[in-house]
Structure 1
Amino acid sequence: MSALTVTGVTKSYGRTPVLTGVDLHVPAGTTTALLGPSGCGKTTLLRIVAGFDDPDGGTVDLGGRVVAGAGRPVPARRRGIGFVPQEGGLFPHLSVAGNVAFGLPRRLRRDRSRVVSLLALVGLDAALADRSPHQLSGGQQQRVALARALAPEPSLVLLDEPFSSLDASLREDTRRAVVDALRATGATAVLVTHDQAEALSTADQVAVLRGGALAQLADPRTLYRDPRDLDVAAFVGEAVVLDGDAVGGRVASELGELVLGRSCPDGPVRVLLRPEQLRLSAGPGPRARVCAVDFYGHDARVELQLPSGRRVSARTEGGDLPTAGAEVSVGVQGTAVPFPVPAPSSAPAPRTETPTPA
């Protein structure tokens, strides 16, 4: 296992900047998720680390060895990196055993026991070894692709949205198998995803990319509960954002007086709550009108309209739910995260000269 350190990496395609100076450290033996919307640069960064593209500036260090950005780059095949593409990329003319063994050194490719142990590592039965890739489900194909990537014991494993083509239940089972396999081998891994839940539940740390730069790097709980700004907050989960005035660690808002979860100077603020913090009841308290209810079985999303006209969402258990049009009381559990509102600029307006008639 090796640590990965990316320092000041930039990349443009023509006149379009894609990465604008990314710094990222992935400790050895951990998994980091690169999370961001389409076009933010996460796949480009993965390709640079893999050696498929070269950076315009900055360096990539793998296990104390600079592999890109300082002189001649180390070719992809010599970086000791395992790569799992989005669709698995299995060789259709090879069996499952042949695909897995392809990642092994030549002297070990005929070692059937090694192939069987790798299949077991990713949660697959040895009976699948002689099947062709087209005889497997999508989730099984992705596990075979991971076994192939892990076979040569790489210093780093890169996964490019490996679960995006799977249905919901298969995605969850495959994700768990992949996480278990990575942890069992102690591999260092980088996962590219646009799925917030996948990033939060899979990685030891999450790197949020925005506009080609690193917006925040933190462990999943910190990222969700204490985001750096409201844009990050809204991207890693549904956000309830309210305006108010902070005084002494509390803020008056449409949902009553809220306790702040971190220090903040007194004055105008915008505060962040998560939908699961809102508690609905028929008792006294701030009122809201139910606009819609989306039932998911285990829980439900209730869209509310506050007296100001602002719409927010509450996440609640799927049992006794209000109906659209009903009026409910809204309470808040836990603390709010404040973001001070910058004071308006006091710069004087530019003077306009009245032309003098000729």
Structure 2
Amino acid sequence: MSSLTVQALTKAFGTTPVLTGVDLHVPEGSLTALLGASGCGKTTLLRLIAGFDDPDAGTVALGDRIVAGEGRAVAARRRGIGFVPQEGGLFPHLTVAGNISFGLPRRQRRDGGRVRDLLELVGLDASLADRSPHQLSGGQQQRVALARALAPAPSLVLLDEPFSSLDAGLREETRQAVSAALVASGATAVLVTHDQAEALSMADQVAVLRSGRLVQLTDPRTLYRSPRDLDVAAFVGEAVVLDADVRGGTAHCALGAVRCDGDVADGPARVLLRPEQLRLAPSGQAGALVARVHGVDFYGHDSRVRLVLSDGATVNARVDGADLPAVGDDVAVTVRGTALAFPVDAAGRSVPLQPSV
């Protein structure tokens, strides 16, 4: 396996820019998720790394070998990259064993032990080796596609939204199996996804793309807790965003006085909280902020409670699924932890806390 280094990568289709100066480093043996809305350039970046398209500028390197840019254009088949597409892309006329061994040298194709080892690696029984793809579930097909990608021991594995066509239960099961297989194989991998939970749960680091630019690259916990701007914050999870006045490190907003995370200059700001930071209790507590329940969305393990504050602002709280308030109830609201404050400029726009990467 090799590290992946992308530098100043740029791509346009006609007069439409798709990627603009993207820098990305994926350490050897790690998984990086490319996260962003549709049309942000995720799949284009993956195709440039794979060698399916050529960049207009910039370089792509596997380890210390440049495979694109600087006058070099190594063909996709010679890059040593495994690719797992959205639908698996298995050959319907081949068995599971035939699919897995397809990219191997002829001598190794006859090695049944190699196929068994790969099936075990991706969490499938060896008895599936003689089945046709149409005899497998969607999740099993995706695991076979990963086994095929890992078979020739590639330098890098690319996964293009491999779980998007699966139902929720199967997606989670398959995601865990694929993640475990990548770790067990020591693979360096890049996963394209628009699913925030998928990126946060699987990746060692997450690269957030927006309008063809890489705006933040960090580990999942930092991304969730310390997004560089409010757009990133809203994209990687539910957000409670309120206007505030910061004085002495405390934000005064519709939820009362909330301590801010880090050093924040006094003045107008917009503060970010996560819904799970809001705690609800029966109203009537002396001095407690009171809100009215506008709606309740029940998910089983937890619930979203939609609240209307005294100034008319609406916020969401994430609470335990039991003992829920009813619509129309008044509840006391308190905030656990600190808020992230984004200063507001003269035009009323929030200022990013970090520069784009």
Shorter-normalised TM range: over 0.9
Distance in 2 (alpha carbons) for counterparts of 1:343 and 1:131: 65
Residue 130 of structure 2: SS of its match in structure 1?
coil
1:133 matches 2:136 = no
Following superposition, the deviation at residue 103 of structure 1 comes to: 2.6
Q: Deviations over 1:247-271 (max 9, x none)?
A: 2211111111111112111111111
Corresponding letter in the other structure for 1:329: A
Query: What aligned pairs does 1:42-53 form with structure 2 within 5 A after superposition?
Result: 42-53=42-53
Corresponding letter in the other structure for 2:230: L
Q: Deviations over 1:291-330 (max 9, x none)?
A: 1101011110111111222111110000000111111111
Following superposition, the deviation at residue 206 of structure 1 comes to: 0.3
On the 8 A contact 2:66/2:72 being kept in 1, the answer is no
2:326 to 323, 327, 348: 323
Residue 307 of structure 1: SS of its match in structure 2?
coil
Unaligned runs of 5+ in 1: 346-358
Distance in 2 (alpha carbons) for counterparts of 1:261 and 1:188: 34
2:122 corresponds in structure 1 to 122
Distance in 2 (alpha carbons) for counterparts of 1:308 and 1:75: 61
Q: What is the TM-score when the length of structure 1 is the normalising length? A: 0.95
Distance in 1 (alpha carbons) for counterparts of 2:105 and 2:278: 56
1:314 matches 2:327 = no
Corresponding letter in the other structure for 1:289: R
Deviant stretches of 4+, over 4 Å: none
Residue 102 of structure 1: SS of its match in structure 2?
coil
1:294 matches 2:264 = no
Following superposition, the deviation at residue 62 of structure 1 comes to: 0.8
Following superposition, the deviation at residue 105 of structure 1 comes to: 2.2
Distance in 2 (alpha carbons) for counterparts of 1:286 and 1:105: 69
Following superposition, the deviation at residue 344 of structure 1 comes to: 3.9
1:183 matches 2:183 = yes
Distance in 2 (alpha carbons) for counterparts of 1:170 and 1:332: 36
Corresponding letter in the other structure for 1:331: T
Distance in 2 (alpha carbons) for counterparts of 1:161 and 1:277: 31
Q: What is the TM-score when the length of structure 2 is the normalising length? A: 0.95
Q: Deviations over 1:209-236 (max 9, x none)?
A: 0000001001000000000000000000
Say how many residue pairs are matched.
345
Distance in 1 (alpha carbons) for counterparts of 2:8 and 2:290: 50
Following superposition, the deviation at residue 72 of structure 1 comes to: 3.0
Corresponding letter in the other structure for 2:339: A
> Computing the radius of gyration over CA atoms, which structure comes out larger, 1 or 2?
1
1:197 matches 2:197 = yes
Residue 88 of structure 1: SS of its match in structure 2?
coil
Following superposition, the deviation at residue 106 of structure 1 comes to: 2.0
Distance in 2 (alpha carbons) for counterparts of 1:90 and 1:36: 27
Residue 172 of structure 1: SS of its match in structure 2?
helix
Following superposition, the deviation at residue 76 of structure 1 comes to: 0.3
The RMSD of aligned alpha carbons is: 0.9
On the 8 A contact 2:254/2:313 being kept in 1, the answer is no
1:355 corresponds in structure 2 to none
2:162 corresponds in structure 1 to 162
Q: Deviations over 1:47-85 (max 9, x none)?
A: 000000000111111111110011130000000000000
Corresponding letter in the other structure for 1:10: T
Corresponding letter in the other structure for 1:25: H
1:100 matches 2:100 = yes
Distance in 1 (alpha carbons) for counterparts of 2:80 and 2:263: 45
Distance in 1 (alpha carbons) for counterparts of 2:312 and 2:37: 29
Residue identity over aligned pairs, in percent, reads 73
Unaligned runs of 5+ in 2: 349-357
On the 8 A contact 2:6/2:22 being kept in 1, the answer is yes
Corresponding letter in the other structure for 1:219: D
Residue 145 of structure 2: SS of its match in structure 1?
helix
1:174 matches 2:177 = no
1:152 corresponds in structure 2 to 152
2:353 corresponds in structure 1 to none
Following superposition, the deviation at residue 245 of structure 1 comes to: 1.2
1:305 matches 2:308 = yes
Distance in 2 (alpha carbons) for counterparts of 1:73 and 1:224: 37
1:256 matches 2:256 = yes
2:31 corresponds in structure 1 to 31
1:66 corresponds in structure 2 to 66
1:280 corresponds in structure 2 to 280
Corresponding letter in the other structure for 1:238: E
